[in-house]
Structure 1
Amino acid sequence: MARIAGRLRARQAGDWCVLLVGIDHLGRMNDAFGFEVVDQVVEAVAVLLRRHIGADDLIARFSGSKFAILSTGCTGAEAARQRGEAICASIRAARVETSAGRMPVSVTVGGIAAPEIPAKLSGLISGLGEALDIAKRRARGSVHLYQRDRARERQRRANQKTAEEIVRAIWDGRIGLALQPVVETGTRQIGFHEALVRMAPMPNGARRHAGQIVDSAERLGLMGVLDRHILGLATKALRRDAALTLSVNVSPSSIADFDWLRQFGREVGPDIGPRLILELTESVVLHDLSAVRTFVTEARATGARVAIDDFGAGATSFRNLRGLGVDMVKIDGSFIINMMRSSDDRAFVRALIELARQLGLKTVAEWVRSERTAKALQEAGCDYIQGALTGLALPYAGPCGGAVQPEG
């Protein structure tokens, strides 16, 4: 790609295009026939592509299944599209012979035509990848050309700024814990605290709420590093404060994240495991039941408990809960907040509590805001309540008043 970018800088604007040609379904082909056959297909496609380039054109291997072509004498988007379609038709019509026999092969093409060239190589690569992804989503064997979108570029710059802010806050120790009490429904004694994320603002910066931080981290692929940071803060707090029991949220990406699991195995043992509750959202259970079952087994081996968060919002059956071996369900707050106005929600919550009791699971009701709701939950047999009625999340300062900071 560097050679192609260099050639572009040396050319005049308006008479070129760059095409990114992706071979379709190589993963399936590899599963069915093996690496050797895939290599033969890739080599055959490379030979076919060379037939479509002129003396001044340039072709380069972009990745295992993709080739980039700088095509000169190509003026305008329509000419680029025609060239891409000709490549697709040629590959589709070709007879690709392999050791496993003749293989049907197709390619999909993303392209950039002058004058849409991004100023930097990174922009060129990003634009080509985006165009190819759009083409694949629309139809395999099709062509899509990149079109500059200023609104999308502004959003990407904003994403970069947010990602840098989150990562810098972790490095600077500005992301810490805020603890919200979860109390016994009848006695109002604290059973444990949920550890929520809080980020201290930079000087003259705006404060971000926990939901904003988590939403941004999930959207930008930073939940792994954020989860590991929060786990480290939580285990440090548990060792400092022997009276503390914490629940910690675990995102879907961390369930099978080797780094998170290795950190958990290193930092959580029988000394603090019984005072740690790991909260998994119901959507995680639905996504990969096998991975969750393994996760629960390893977590409980340390004495830690496992809770299903936002329960009732998805479609997890109680049979799955029994098979997973979890200890607790946290009933989704959207049912709790409306239960005194909705007979349907009230009946649903009571049914969840009764079924959980039959399975030996503790229940937590989230978003409890009124004494009336708390009384109804107590009458239904709910074990714990959590919400504005019993206390909002407050920054954790430790048993001696010192702020919990990441170990460095």
Structure 2
Amino acid sequence: MTTLNGEDLRTSRDDVSAFSALIGNLAVGVLRLDAQLRVVDLNPTAEELLGVARGTACGRPLGSVYRLLDAASRRLLPAPEERLAGAPPAGIEARLLRRDGVELAVRERFVPLAGNPAGGAWLLLEDVTELNAMRREQQWLAFHDPVTGLANRRALERQLEQALAAVRSNGLSFAFGYLDVDDFEVVTEIVGQAGSDDLLRQVANVIRQRLGEKDLLARLAEVRFGLLLADCPPERIKARAQELRRVVADSRFSWHQEEFSLGVSIGMVPVTGGSGDAMKVMAAADAASTMAWEESIAAHAFDADNSIDLSLAHKYGDLRWLARIHRALKKGRFRLYRQPIVPTVDPDPERAPIHEILLRMVEADGSLIAPGEFIPAAERFDLIADLDRWVVKGALARLAADDDERSAIAINLSGKSISKASFLDDVVEIFEASGVAPSRVLFEITETAAVANLRRARRFMNALRARGLRFVLDDFGSGVSSYGYLQNLPVDFLKIDGGFVRGLARNPVQRAIVTAIHQVASVMGIPTIAEYVENEKIRAALAELGVDYVQGYGIRRPAPWVEEAGG
């Protein structure tokens, strides 16, 4: 494409015919004007821009060919004759108003023909409509999410900074938090990326309808939204979070012929004068959202008096756990326990075909710490894969020394561990070095972990099943779409969520749920295990339903498997 600048025009002024040939190929509109600013000539691009034929424009005053509007105020600018009185103005950007009413964004520039005795000027008109649209789009994308149209992280952080300033200067009340759509990877597997984008837009619209004019909703990641609520004192935070959770849970979201129920986890913190900077507020909100997810409470609001302090982390997983877990790993201060899984109709723990392997931490004084205390911290501080490796190595070493070839073990694995590519390699290496028959080893993965890392979980499971190892899907029934993805997971046993089993003997709804889970598993040829079997009454009810295996305090409590495990 030929280009042109003012110097080209000046040096070409003595050869108008040659110059006319040159400007004919330009993508910029060029008009040659006489001393009275009448149009002498114009190139085809100028004809197209102005919407006027060359024969019509030539000889006419420039002001009668087009006018300009101020881009901001849309006020009519003075005619070119007035604007060029005296020194020519610098180039300007404005809205070109054609005689047929069409408007275009243009950049206008005059180049005087100073060396020409007859005077006159060249007028350059460049159509910047598309360029301006691209600029506007870039400016919009700088502060918005392209999928949902919501504000993005940059916009949210800017608003949070302003909210902190308002709190300090005016004492206003704000709340900040994160909202995560639960188990959305399953939905994406079903509807694809286009469908998941549309469903997220629907979720955003449902939430936005419950927000005030001063509230801000932003999309920060695939399934994470940010919330900044105005006029929200600390005592109202939990109620607002629960309200938003309810409105999502009560809504139905559809894509083509599919309809979905979705849930969200919400963690929120107050924005106060003692909140510190924006980074501390966001860190506290992230901790709150993780607590909401891990504790399965769906909405968590930190206490106003200690929300931004590290003492918050004590309930969630104090930073001191980091050093304690490291020390325990280094000094081998973990112990393996086991609990039998027995046939429901012949519950003899002495002849249990499978034992679930459990973990305890040993304090310096010899006291034991239950996994519920240190496992969340290990996951939070990215130590869980180290713990899982320790358990796998120690359990397989102990199993290799067991003379009973009929005994098998089930080892729990964290969802965070199986999401690490290197962990699969480590497990394969430990297993192959152990010499244990693959039929004696099972791994337990919770339903939540499998859903949260569906593709990686499937890859992990397929790789180990190809070597003869088996899998138990733990806590089945705790997710929102259990049946929808069960057929896509390569599992050998289904462990029914203990929350349904506990009340089975007295609660007809829970009995119906357990019945349905067992029937679906039976159709698929998957044996079922019921955990939390606390008494004979529950076991007998499970036997009536046909559940294959049972486990719990009513059968036998967990007991030490070995005093010193390898690792």
User: Taking structure 2 as the reference length, what is the TM-score of the superposition?
Assistant: 0.46
What amino acid is the match of 1:218? Answer: E
1:125-177 Cα distance to aligned partner (Å, 9 max, x none): x967435668999xxxxxxxxx9969713345882222211111111111121
The residue that corresponds to 2:327 in the other structure is 168
Question: Which of these two proteins has the greater Rg computed from alpha carbons?
Answer: 2
| Cα gap change, 1:135 to 1:276, in 2 (>3 Å) | closer
Cα deviation, residue 308, structure 1: 0.7
1:78-135 Cα distance to aligned partner (Å, 9 max, x none): xxxxxxxxxxxxxxxxxxx9xx97832355458899xxxxxxxxxxxx9674356689
Q: How does 1:274-289 map to 2 (within 5 A)?
A: 274-289=439-454
Cα deviation, residue 247, structure 1: 0.5
Q: Confirm or deny that 1:392 pairs with 2:557.
A: yes
Q: Confirm or deny that 1:362 pairs with 2:512.
A: no
Contact (CA 8 Å) 2:504, 2:541: kept in 1 or not?
no
Identity of aligned residues (%): 29
The residue that corresponds to 1:82 in the other structure is none
User: Taking CA–CA contacts closer than 8 Å with sequence separation of 6 or more, which of the two structures ends up with the larger relative contact order?
Assistant: 1
Cα deviation, residue 184, structure 1: 1.2
The residue that corresponds to 2:430 in the other structure is 267
| Cα gap change, 1:316 to 1:231, in 2 (>3 Å) | farther
| Cα gap change, 1:390 to 1:127, in 2 (>3 Å) | same
State the alpha-carbon separation in 1 of the partners of residues 368 and 306 from structure 2.
30
Cα deviation, residue 341, structure 1: 0.7
SS in 2 for 1:241: coil
Cα deviation, residue 242, structure 1: 4.4
The residue that corresponds to 1:234 in the other structure is 395
Q: How does 1:4-403 map to 2 (within 5 A)?
A: 103-104=138-139, 105=142, 107=154, 108=157, 129-130=279-280, 152-155=309-312, 159-188=318-347, 189-203=351-365, 207-243=368-404, 244-269=407-432, 271-397=436-562, 403=564
SS in 2 for 1:323: coil
Cα deviation, residue 208, structure 1: 1.4
State the alpha-carbon separation in 2 of the partners of residues 286 and 392 from structure 1.
30
Cα deviation, residue 268, structure 1: 1.6
Cα deviation, residue 209, structure 1: 1.3
SS in 1 for 2:456: helix
Cα deviation, residue 215, structure 1: 2.5
State the alpha-carbon separation in 2 of the partners of residues 154 and 355 from structure 1.
46
What amino acid is the match of 2:379? Answer: E
User: Taking structure 1 as the reference length, what is the TM-score of the superposition?
Assistant: 0.62
| Cα gap change, 1:300 to 1:242, in 2 (>3 Å) | farther
Cα deviation, residue 272, structure 1: 3.1
The residue that corresponds to 1:41 in the other structure is none
| Cα gap change, 1:306 to 1:152, in 2 (>3 Å) | same
State the alpha-carbon separation in 1 of the partners of residues 312 and 286 from structure 2.
23
SS in 1 for 2:488: helix
CA RMSD of aligned residues (A): 3.2
How many residue pairs were aligned? 284
Contact (CA 8 Å) 1:337, 1:367: kept in 2 or not?
yes
1:61-82 Cα distance to aligned partner (Å, 9 max, x none): xxxxxxxxxxxxxxxxxxxxxx
State the alpha-carbon separation in 2 of the partners of residues 182 and 336 from structure 1.
15
State the alpha-carbon separation in 1 of the partners of residues 286 and 538 from structure 2.
51
Contact (CA 8 Å) 1:179, 1:394: kept in 2 or not?
yes
State the alpha-carbon separation in 1 of the partners of residues 422 and 448 from structure 2.
22
State the alpha-carbon separation in 2 of the partners of residues 232 and 136 from structure 1.
33
Cα deviation, residue 289, structure 1: 2.3
What amino acid is the match of 2:421? Answer: F
